Structure formats: C-alpha cells, structure tokens
Homo-oligomer: A and B are copies of this chain.
C-alpha cells in the first residue's frame, strides 16, 4: 500500500499543472501574480509548475507590449503564455447578414480578423464558403490548427437537441478543417469575449446583455459560460419585467425585450428608425425620453433579478440601445432593487462587431481546456525554453 500515497500526490500535481495550462489557454498572457490569483496555487507550487512548463517549452515568456498591453512603468515586464507556435484557433461568427472570422495563436493573440456581408436569404452552404474564403486569406501557411469555434444566431442546446442546420454546419466545418468544432449562440460568445478581452476583463463572474434588434445575453460564472439544462441560460431578454406586460414572440409576457429592444424603443418614441429615435431623445422629445427611460428602468429591474440569482462581479451592456441615458436609468433601478453591498454599475461593452468571432475563438479553449495545448507532441521541446 505504500505506493498509494505518491500516486495520490502525483495525481494532485498533474491537476495543478492542468489548471495552469488551462488558464493560459483560456485567458492568454498572464503575469505570475495573475496566475497565482486565478489558480489559487501557492507561490512555491506555482513556481515549480511554471519552471517545469518553461523547461519543456510548453510555456514561454513574453512582454506586455507583444501581448498588446501597456507596460506598467518601473515594473518587471514578464508575462507567461502558451508557446504561440503550438497551433492556431479559428473563430467564425455567422450573423443574420454577415460573417466575422478571427484567427489567434495558442497564446490567444489575435493574428487577423475579417468580415463579409451576405443577404439574409443566403444558404448555410454558401455562408460557409464565404467564411472559408476569408479564413484562407488570413491563414496563409501559418502552422497547425487546434480547433474551430463557431457562433450562430438563435438558441444552441446540448448536441442531441440542436437544430438540423446547426448540426450540419458543425459537421461541415469539422470535415473542412479536420479539427474539433465547438458551437454556441453568438450573444453568449460575446459575453465570453467581453469577459476575456473587453469591459469584463479581470473578472470571472460577468453578466452581459445586448439591447439590439432583440435582447440577448450571456453569463460567465467562475470563468465558464453558464449554459443551462437545455442551452437557454442567459436569456436576459426574456426575464419578465412587467407582470401584466405585452405578449412576447417567445411565448412569455412582459419580457425585457418587449420594452428594451430597438423596435420597442423606436415604436414607443414614435420614430421611424433608431437614428431618428436617438435624435428625438437628444432633442428632449417627451415620447423618446420616456421610451428610453422605460427601457433603462426595465433593464435595471431585470439585471436586479439576474444579480440576485447569480451574483456577478461585473455587468456589461452592449447594443445600439445601450446609450448613456439608458445605462443611467438602469443603474438607478438596480440601486432601488438591490442591497447596497450588491449594487454594481452597468458598464458599456468595449468590443466592436468582431465580438462574436472573438468569443468563438475563446470557445475552443473553453470547451476543451485540458486536452489540447501541450506543444511537446509537435516537436517543440526543451531547446526553446
């Protein structure tokens, strides 16, 4: 029985190493201090693990500049990343009218992005051809591919419950690239991207919502996307905000979307489109002011529900309706409905139209944090450390 003790210890040690590699895969470049906080490992354990990973060439040292960060004045500039040569990931975001594509190396640095529009009636086959053309233009001879993340509109449940076109798209992408493919709703992927690279950077518990043609959302808990039993967690647009409110196309009633989407604020403003509604708000037209304030109050009420349910550290709001007046009204409603210790500001989203593709990139590491990312098998070893 004396072999059992070292066996258990070795098992624990591997778990720690996996945790460090998973964090670097998921978050990109991190300082030793950030790694220590996120991994909750002791300084000496972390130092042993990082030393072994550096010696194997699995991890390399980089500088804040090359990782796209400002160099803090007077502080040592060392960041750790996975070896960027150990493979690339691809993110594809299929919107209703446009596909966005992004490519990153294993250090989670974005190498390139591209986008191209199509008609809403475009077939999935054709959308995929367009995406592959963009990918080819970005990936000219740039090494092995580790995985592809895909964003789509509409709900994405567990594999057996997915719609046929999502399953067919995932299968076609897997055949085309010969690597694992992960898929999720693109608003949920936007939440992941805002957590990793945008207004939620530095936080692991983030609630994201987007007020656009519809109202969608995504929730990150402990750095992981919350998906739910059937894939419909984070449907913040359908949180009820008015007990006797209007019927919603979802089949519910009084949902946030019925008062805070673009069509809802445009109609309540008495305007023809969003630019004229925003113009009317600017000019202080009472109907427009009331419409945007009502949207903001409803947003705050819904976010208070979400905060009591998942207790995030950061709230991020994106979409065309998320103008400062709406965010201010939301914060006032949040303050009215939450205990003082739980109140949070509503931060505007920081990423642009490529947010879904950036989230799709991140999905590759998110959905397989432990099984890929060890570069040793591809011929890079101690000589690079």
Contact = CB atoms under 8 A, between A and B. Distances in A.
Interface of A: 1, 4-5, 7-8, 11-12, 14-15, 18, 203-205, 219, 221, 226-236, 238-243, 250-255, 297, 301-302, 304-306, 308-313, 336-342, 370-371, 374, 376-377, 379, 381
Contact of A309 (B219, B241, B250, B255): B219
B240 A337 contact: yes
A234 B221 CA distance: 13
A1 B236 CA distance: 49
Contacts of A235: 308-309, 311
Total copies of the chain: 2
Contacts of A14: 11, 14
A11 B254 CA distance: 50
Given A15-B370, A304-B252, A310 B243 contact: no
Contacts of A313: 229-230
Contacts of A1: 376-377, 379, 381
Given A253-B336, A305-B240, A340-B251, A226 B230 contact: no
A242 B233 CA distance: 23
A251 B334 CA distance: 11
A238 B306 contact: no
Given A230-B342, A311-B229, A8 B377 contact: yes
A238 B241 CA distance: 15
A297 B12 CA distance: 49
Nearest to A58: B4
A339 B231 contact: no
B240 A301 contact: yes
A311 B304 CA distance: 17
A309 B310 contact: yes
B306 A309 contact: yes
A219 B311 CA distance: 12
A332 to B, nearest CB: 12
A377 B309 contact: no
A253 B379 CA distance: 61
A209 to B, nearest CB: 11
Contacts of A232: 308, 311, 342
